[in-house]
Amino acid sequence: MTYEEFEARYEYNPATDRIGGGGFGEVYRAYDNLRKRWVAIKECKVEPHKFSLWREVELVNEMEPHINIARYENPYRFKLGRVEMDYAILKYYEEGSLKDLLKKQPLSTFEKIEIIEGLLHGLAHIHQEGFIHRDFKPGNVLIEKVAEKWVPKITDFGMSKLKKNDGREQLSDSSIGKTIAYAAPEQIQNRPINDSTDLWALGIIVYQMATGKLPFDSENHTSKETYNLEVSKQIISGKLPNVSTIEEPFKGIIERCLVLPIHERANSANDLFSLIHKNKSAVNISRLVNFKQEEKTAKLESSSTGNVVEFLVAKDEYAKWNVANAMSILATNNIHRGYVKSMNAEKVEVFLDYGVTGLINEIAFEKLFIGDYVEVQIIEADFEVCRLFLRLNRILKKNQNDIHISQLSNGRFVLKNASGIIANGEYDELKQLSDSNYAFKRNNKWGVINKQGKIIVKEKYLEIYPYHNGLARVSSLGNSIFDLLNYSIKFGFINEVGFEQIPLVYHEAQDFDNEFAIVMINGLLNSTWYKIDKTGLCTEINNRS
Higher pLDDT, 291 or 228: 228
Average per-residue pLDDT for the chain: 74
**DSSP assignment string, 1-51:** --HHHHHHHEE--TTT-EEEEETTEEEEEEEETTTTEEEEEEEEE--TTS-
Coil, helix or strand at residue 412: coil
Determine the straight-line distance between the first and last CA of the chain, rounded to whole angstroms: 27
Closest CA to 131 of 197, 70, 44: 197
> What integer is the mean pLDDT of 246-272?
90
How far apart are alpha carbons 56 and 64 in whole angstroms?
A: 15
Residue 13 banded pLDDT, cuts 50, 70, 90 = very high
Higher pLDDT, 35 or 171: 35
Is pLDDT above 60 for 354?
no
For β-strands 381-382 and 149-154, DSSP reports them as unpaired
Identify the sign of the CA torsion 127, 129, 131, 134.
negative
> What integer is the mean pLDDT of 530-543?
85
Coil, helix or strand at residue 518: strand
Q: pLDDT tens digit string along 416-467?
A: 875 567 766 789 999 999 988 999 999 999 999 988 888 999 999 999 999 9
Residue 418: CB partners within 8 Å, gap ≥ 6? 310, 373, 374, 375, 398, 399, 400, 402
Higher pLDDT, 44 or 391: 44
Residues recognised as catalytic: 135
> What integer is the mean pLDDT of 199-218?
93
Domains along the chain? 3-91 (3.30.200.20), 98-281 (1.10.510.10), 286-396 (no CATH), 455-541 (no CATH)
The mean-pLDDT minimum among 77-81, 139-143, 295-299, 450-454 falls in 295-299
